[in-house]
Amino acid sequence: MTLHLRACTYAYRPWARPVLSNLDYQLPPGVTVLLGPNGAGKSTLLRLAAGVTRPRTGNVHLGDLPSRARAYRGAVAWMPQHITAMTALTAREQVAYTGWLKGMNRTDAWTASATALARVDLADQADTRARRLSGGQLRRVGVAAALVHQARVLLLDEPTAGMDPRQRRIFRDVLAALTDEVTVLLSTHDVADLAEESDHVTVLQAGRIRYTGTTDGFLAHAPTDATPGRRAEAAYTALSETSG
Ligand SMILES: Nc1ncnc2c1ncn2[C@@H]1O[C@H](COP(=O)(O)OP(=O)(O)OP(=O)(O)O)[C@@H](O)[C@H]1O
């Protein structure tokens, strides 16, 4: 089942210039990294894909399922850019609560919460109140919440922001361990860290798709003398500079 945004236009105010205008986007299978400068519209695209924001015109589907359908919200997980610590809840309770909101029963959500926290290396903080966690730990709670209900599509808004290098590596391991049935779209400014390990790259600029395709195709935009290990950054810079 493919997630498809068709002719989507979105503006935050009726009179404002649209952030996304007549955008067509089809999410390929595997892991896609969404790149773009601040304000390009990455979070907006992810919110539309998650069904938490409706396009002014156009539509969003997962296969035949429209984003307004209840089943759509069960099939898609969204990790917002800003994770809110729920007052008085522990990390495990917060993740379990997300599972319950997504339709799991209480027992399954409680069990799956512990598993998801272990996957992001946060088992030792499961009983800590979420509001006492560091920024990087809270982001891992956000990733765990996205993993908890076995969604088919994961939409992750800057999942590695604020994570230390070890945690970023663990996050890459989490992605690598996902089964082929799971499709991922994640936004990041960590171009070097994530882009070279993804299957696909999408570059968004001022609400338009500047590039979408395989990671190899993306890296081919790097100059031939680009330093090994910095090819993704070089490719991104080259694409940004040649934008029309
Ligand atoms: N709640 C809002 N109200 C009004 N304008 C908004 C709102 N959220 C975002 N915008 C505007 O929409 C545009 C796209 O924002 P968006 O957050 O989607 O970009 P982004 O690519 O995710 O940026 P960043 O990399 O900084 O997170 C920006 O011009 C931003 O100012």
DSSP string, 47-115: HHHHTSS--SEEEEEETTEETTSHHHHHHEEEE-SSPPPPTT-BHHHHHHHHHHHTT--HHHHHHHHHH
Q: Which residue's CA is the closest to the ligand 1 atom numbered 3?
A: 12
Q: Tens-digit pLDDT profile for the chain (244 aa)?
A: 899 999 999 999 988 999 999 999 999 999 999 999 999 999 999 999 999 999 999 999 999 999 999 899 899 999 999 999 998 999 999 999 999 999 999 999 999 999 999 999 999 999 999 999 999 999 999 999 999 999 999 999 999 998 888 888 888 999 988 988 999 999 999 888 777 679 999 999 999 999 999 999 999 999 988 887 888 999 999 998 875 5
Q: What's the CATH fold of domain 3-242?
A: Rossmann fold (3.40.50)
Ligand 1: nearest atom to the Cα of 37: 25
Distance 123 CA to ligand 1 centre (A): 33
Count Cβ atoms within 10 A of the Cβ of residue 231 and give its class: 0-12 exposed, 13-18 middle, 19 or more buried.
buried
Q: Specify the residue with its C-alpha closest to ligand 1, atom 16.
A: 41
Evaluate whether 64 touches 19 at the Cβ level (below 8 Å).
no
Token digits for 175? 């992605």
Task: For residue 127, report the distance from its CA to the centre of ligand 1, in Å.
Answer: 34
**CA atoms of 170 and 164, how far apart (whole Å):** 10
Measured in whole angstroms, the distance separating CA 59 from the mean position of its chain's CA atoms is 19
User: Closest residue (by CA) to atom 18 of ligand 1?
Assistant: 41
Ligand 1 atom 30 nearest Cα: 39
CA dihedral in degrees (217, 183, 157, 209; nearest 10)? 40
Whether ipTM exceeds 0.90: yes
Tell me how far apart the alpha carbons of residues 154 and 142 are, in angstroms, rounded to a whole number. 12
pTM flag (> 0.90):
yes
Give ligand 1 pocket residues (Cβ under 6 A).
Answer: 12, 19, 36, 38-44, 81
Residues facing 212 on adjacent strands: 202
Nearest CA to ligand 1 atom 28: 39
CA 41–ligand 1 middle distance (angstroms) = 6
Residue (of 14, 17, 19) closest to 42 by Cα position = 19
Atom number in ligand 1 closest to CA 189: 25
